[in-house]
Structure 1
Amino acid sequence: MAISESPEFTVEQVGGRDLRVARWRWDQPSEHPPLLFFNGIGANIEAVAPLADALPDRAFITFDMPGVGGSPDPLVPYNPFLMSWHASDLLERFGAPLVDVMGVSWGGAMAQHFALQHSGQVRKLVLAATTAGMLMVPGKLAALSKMADPRRYVDPAFMEQHFRTLYGGLTGGKDEHISRLKPPSPRGYLYQLLCMIGWTSAPVLPFLKAETLIMMGEEDAIVPLINGKILKTLIPGSRLETFPDGGHLFMLTHKDRTVALLREFLSETQAAAA
């Protein structure tokens, strides 16, 4: 079992925005590149801390989106192009010219965009519980309507009542996950929703260069499994792994297998070019 580690927190100004950044094991020697992580909508850094702890042999970096966690409210809306530039600036500032990239749900869209916009900085890509954007097969209305309600971060009773509707599948680790969440500001949540309006990666995914692992829950009511199959079809040479009984939070309920797949994929030698 991984020992919980405390990341180094800083507030960095990039592109006129202050972003709360967390780095694990940044100055420790490693044979692996750092892992840049993009979180789900409204989710703060602390929500992904268990994953960072479970990968003790590599550096790990993530940041709170504007208005989320410890990052101040955004003054103006932003888009995936801007946030990818900000992430690239952070990596350059911290001396990481090459990284592996991972994104979950909303963050999976950001991870795709970053890997396309800054392909020279990306070695491998991991996409979890995510889609190609607007060209997606939507989930169940009951789950989507509650997903769009920020009360799931503000009101523990609301999250408790609707956890299975929201995330489906098994619910192991639910209490620990809820305890790590900090509610985003209303503006932060709204701007994060607006960020991906009209966005899709589908037309350009065939040009994605990074070796890609796609992970999907078979019982995900928010992002149905078919979306992972679409990603696999569009991304050359990509690999799809599914989680039976896994909902939108399969990374939480199926943590051991998630970590094992990640370690295997990120540690194996890059596939030789054809």
Structure 2
Amino acid sequence: MTETIHDVRIGGHKIRVAHREGTGRPLLMCNGIGASLGLLQPFVDALDPSIPVVRFDAPGVGGSRLSRYPYTFASLARLIGRVLDHLEIGEVDVLGISWGGGLAQQFAFQNPRRCKRLVLVSTATGWMMVPAGLDVLAKMATPRRHRDPQYAASIAGTIYGGRMRAEPGLARTLLHDHTPLTSRRAYLMQLGAGTGWTSLPFLPLIRQPTLILAGDDDPIIPLANARMMHRLLPHSELHVYEDGHLGLVTAADELAPRVAKFLRGVD
């Protein structure tokens, strides 16, 4: 299937979008903090090629223009809805990883009819969550790992866990080979979007079938968070895989078929 990458201009925003054609309902993918749409390429390559995929760079990341003003998950979810309108896409399934998992939860809540199925990967409920350790949080507070390949490799095992503990050089490949530099301001805006945000009050109201994927060695998002979301989401299933925070790409061959099977399920 063919994939096109182009800019969508809406209300002063320029959002870089990758659109892979296919059959059936598209999968909208929301990326982690500081990462461009290229990070998810290994998963997209492993996913059933008949499934249409829409990826985008958050404002100020990759090929998207930096926003003039701070934004929230709620306002970004509305903007992404307008991007889908521009692409003439109606109903979607939504997958979000890490920071993008928060955005995916918000999008599903705001768009109960448009979002049909939800996949939450290595993510949590916002500020009311079981937190990472202080050493991990300190390293996540800046975009340095996205700007310095050697630094990314040196801390990969500590913050990402899983396969990265034995193969820290993967961080250099995943974060830098296909990902343009992320500015400090753009990164801080992404951090700000999640400040004070939590999905705990509305998770029981999300009625879409939901697949929760969580690594058994994720220093950034402890596994207890996935179990908490599973208890609160009324139509969810939880799959724990043997890997870390970036298992969606480092274990793509295992997880892509599971996601495809879930997306093909009967509503």
Q: Normalising by structure 2, what TM-score? A: 0.94
Aligned 8 A contact 1:206 1:236 in 2:
yes
Counterpart CA distance in 2 for 1:141 and 1:250 is 22
> Which residue of structure 1 aligns with residue 18 of structure 2?
22
1:136-193 deviation line (CA, Å, top 9, x unaligned): 0001222221122211011111001111011011125445313223221111111010
SS in 2 for 1:251: helix
> Which residue of structure 2 aligns with residue 182 of structure 1?
180
Q: Is 1:143 matched with 2:140?
A: no
Q: Structure 2: 5+ residue runs without aligned partners?
A: none
Q: Where do residues 134-173 of structure 1 align in structure 2 (5 Å cutoff)?
A: 134-171=127-164, 173=170
Among 76, 85, 88, which residue is 1:83 paired with? 76
Aligned 8 A contact 1:150 1:183 in 2:
no
SS in 2 for 1:119: coil
Counterpart CA distance in 1 for 2:181 and 2:96 is 20
SS in 1 for 2:163: coil
RCO higher in structure (CA 8 A, sep ≥6): 2
1:196-215 deviation line (CA, Å, top 9, x unaligned): 10001101110102100000
Counterpart CA distance in 2 for 1:16 and 1:234 is 37
Aligned 8 A contact 1:47 1:180 in 2:
yes
- Inter-CA distance 189–197: structure 2 relative to 1 (3 Å threshold): same
SS in 2 for 1:134: coil
Aligned 8 A contact 1:73 1:185 in 2:
no
Among 191, 194, 211, which residue is 1:193 paired with? 191
Aligned 8 A contact 1:24 1:59 in 2:
yes
1:6, distance to aligned residue in structure 2 (A): 6.7
1:27-78 deviation line (CA, Å, top 9, x unaligned): x4x1x20000100001101111222222211111111111100111221101
The residue identity in structure 1 corresponding to 2:41 is: A
Counterpart CA distance in 2 for 1:194 and 1:7 is 32
The residue identity in structure 1 corresponding to 2:253 is: D
> Which residue of structure 1 aligns with residue 53 of structure 2?
60
1:222-254 deviation line (CA, Å, top 9, x unaligned): 00000000100110021000012x111111222
Query: Identity, % of aligned pairs?
Result: 37
Cα RMSD (Å): 1.4
SS in 2 for 1:86: helix
Counterpart CA distance in 2 for 1:69 and 1:146 is 21
> May I ask how many residue pairs the two structures share in their alignment?
261
Counterpart CA distance in 2 for 1:205 and 1:15 is 30
SS in 2 for 1:259: helix
> Which residue of structure 1 aligns with residue 231 of structure 2?
233
Aligned 8 A contact 2:215 2:240 in 1:
yes
Q: Is 1:49 matched with 2:41?
A: yes
SS in 2 for 1:137: coil
Aligned 8 A contact 1:218 1:247 in 2:
yes
Counterpart CA distance in 1 for 2:240 and 2:215 is 6
The residue identity in structure 1 corresponding to 2:37 is: I
Counterpart CA distance in 1 for 2:132 and 2:155 is 15
